[in-house]
Structure 1
């Protein structure tokens, strides 16, 4: 029964979520906490691990949630639940996309989805910042976190430094400062 609930939950998430893994994080977090499988704090830790692991963050987080909730079987059904909708939709769309992509309505729908996806990603970042008490009070750690964030953003956008290098240096700076 639990395995079926995990599978069903991740099939729904995989079906209705658009915009990639980071845009799915708020939806996954809502479902995971609503089912009582873990707290927001525990889920935040899962996202940190999933983000550092190779592969898509949404699928990785689903696997970690499934494993924490129901062991290996939970990890397998969570992964299948997350992957099957996308696979099915992509196979279906691939047959029609080249023709449909030229239609004004389809192009307009994609343009309409873009700001929503950006909003979901920003919401996820703010929610995790709040749940980890990065914005709770102004302290040295808050200032240091803000400086690391701005430095990483600058390195990525202006200097086009590879994200892996930015992650490594941010981790080293964090280890030294904290």
Structure 2
């Protein structure tokens, strides 16, 4: 039964997850942590971190890891959990595959019409909102600690957040370099 729920949940996320993988993160978090209680907030935060570090789209990576963890947390073994990974990943990708096949020819024909342009004009702010929600979702105690609980870690985390945003946004430093710099700083300052 959990496989059917997993498939339906990730199919819906794939169907309504506009804005790519980062836009899907808030939907994935809501469904897996809050609605179905398949994962804890800490597990989801770890999954997002792993999904960012591994090659491939973050939405698909997150679905793969969430599927595995959900089945594993339900008490199944590792081999069955791999089937959970495959189920969640396939369900997330399936709506995009179907929609792209159906609309690819129509889009090329109608993409310059005012109706289609109006639809995209309405979707753009929604995508930005989903990306902002994903950012705010990750600004939690698992990633930053709190000033009361661990002021040193909180200060270092906030400084790394600001430095990374400034470095990639203003100084145009390669994001991969910034990730390496932040990992090195975290190793030096928080270990």
The two structures have a TM-score, normalised by structure 1, of 0.92
> Which SS does the other structure have where 1:102 is aligned?
coil
Aligned-partner Cα distance in 2 for 1:168–1:20 = 24
Aligned-partner Cα distance in 1 for 2:162–2:138 = 17
> Which SS does the other structure have where 1:37 is aligned?
coil
- Bigger drift between 105-114 and 126-135 goes to 126-135
Count of matched residue pairs: 178
Listed as ranges, the gaps of 5+ residues in structure 1 are none
Hey, what does 2:109 align to over in structure 1?
99
Deviation at 1:140, TM superposition (A): 2.8
Aligned-partner Cα distance in 2 for 1:136–1:117 = 29
Cα displacement string for residues 67-117 of structure 1 (whole angstroms, at most 9, x for unaligned residues)? 112201101111100111111111222111122210112112212222222
Question: Quick check: 1:123 aligned with 2:123?
Answer: no
Hey, what does 1:154 align to over in structure 2?
166
Aligned-partner Cα distance in 2 for 1:131–1:144 = 13
Moved runs in structure 1, 4+ residues, more than 3 A? none
Listed as ranges, the gaps of 5+ residues in structure 2 are 72-80
> Which SS does the other structure have where 1:132 is aligned?
helix
Q: 1:83 to 1:133 in 2, by over 3 A?
A: closer
The two structures have a TM-score, normalised by structure 2, of 0.86
Deviation at 1:62, TM superposition (A): 0.7
Cα RMSD of the aligned pairs, angstroms, is: 1.6
Contact 1:18 1:24 in 2 (8 A): yes
Cα displacement string for residues 128-150 of structure 1 (whole angstroms, at most 9, x for unaligned residues)? 21242627336232222222122
